[in-house]
Amino acid sequence: DARVTQTPRHKVTEMGQEVTMRCQPILGHNTVFWYRQTMMQGLELLAYFRNRAPLDDSGMPKDRFSAEMPDATLATLKIQPSEPRDSAVYFCASGLLTPGLHRTYEQYFGPGTRLTVT
Partner 1 sequence: AQSVAQPEDQVNVAEGNPLTVKCTYSVSGNPYLFWYVQYPNRGLQFLLKYITGDNLVKGSYGFEAEFNKSQTSFHLKKPSALVSDSALYFCAVREPGYSTLTFGKGTMLLVSP
Give the binding site for partner 1 (CB under 8 A): 4, 31, 33, 42-43, 45, 48, 50, 55-56, 91, 93, 102, 104, 106-112
Cβ-contact 77, 65 below 8 angstroms? yes
Cβ-contact 15, 117 below 8 angstroms? yes
- For partner 1, the closer CB: 75 or 83: 75
Write down the least CB distance from residue 114 to partner 1, Å: 8
- For partner 1, the closer CB: 15 or 43: 43
Write down the least CB distance from residue 104 to partner 1, Å: 5
- For partner 1, the closer CB: 59 or 81: 59
Write down the least CB distance from residue 44 to partner 1, Å: 9
